[in-house]
Structure 1
Amino acid sequence: MSDSLWGYQPASGHTTGADLTGYAVEATDGSIGKVDKHSDEVGSAYLLVDTGAWIFGKHVLLPAGTVKRIDTEDRKVYVDLTKDQVKDSPEFDRHQQTEDPLYHEQLSAYYMAYRIM
């Protein structure tokens, strides 16, 4: 894995500039929603996931480093997290925190606890 959670893992199959909007997002134990927005920005790449009815319409911000694999044929993104890990992530406000460095630090601390080295 890369040293930063805010960049895609080399083995993920991510191609810079590829549009992941609408891709289904799969945790290690099932579906968690779909990609609503994403960023390829170096050092700040992420997926904004709309969890739909699964956790009452909540949006979650997933650092790109949590992406294990992207399947362009099936339009699915697989992340190295369980549904509970995503559900219990720090509260997200899409209108204020998408690009907020302090929120990114908070997310990094949360997700680093689950990172497999």
Structure 2
Amino acid sequence: MHESLWNYAPTSGHTPDDDLTGYSVEATDGQIGTVDKHSGEVVAQYVVVDTGVWIFGRKVMLPAGTIVGIDHEARQVHVSLSKAEIKASPEFDEDKHLGDPAYRDQLGGHYGSGH
């Protein structure tokens, strides 16, 4: 797994003090939801997106490396993924997302292919 997948790209517009909670998340082909929570922890940076009614209230965890831009004025996070890629992601696990490296590896395998 590429460690860079779990870090914000220098060109994303992210700064360590950013609070992205509530920002809308835009896939390459439309909005997918809003940021529910995020992590700034080095080598484990991510956002958890509440997809609302789009995929029946499911939450998804997106590695920070999938974020290509942050528009603070519009309160939007842009990701390099399509809706289909996000919808096909492994199920978000509230209990595993923080401390389970195997879970992060599974997500990295899904999102790392082609990114």
TM-score by length of 2: 0.95
1:70 matched residue in structure 2: 70
Give the drift of 1:64: 0.3
2:19 matched residue in structure 1: 19
Note the residue ranges of structure 2 that are not aligned, 5 or more in a row: none
State the superposition RMSD in angstroms. 1.1
C-alpha distance after superposition, 1:24-73 (max 9, x if no partner):
00000000000000001000000000000000000000000000000000
Give the drift of 1:114: 2.8
1:10 matched residue in structure 2: 10
What is the number of residues matched between the two proteins?
Answer: 113
Give the drift of 1:3: 5.3
Please tell me whether the aligned partners of residues 9 and 67 of structure 2 are also in contact (alpha carbons under 8 angstroms).
Answer: yes
Please tell me whether the aligned partners of residues 3 and 43 of structure 2 are also in contact (alpha carbons under 8 angstroms).
Answer: no
Within 1, Cα distance between the matches of 2:7 and 2:35?
16
Bigger drift between 76-85 and 96-105 goes to 96-105
Over the matched positions of the two proteins, sequence identity in percent amounts to 57
Please tell me whether the aligned partners of residues 51 and 60 of structure 2 are also in contact (alpha carbons under 8 angstroms).
Answer: yes
Runs of 4+ displaced beyond 4 Å: none
1:98 matched residue in structure 2: 97
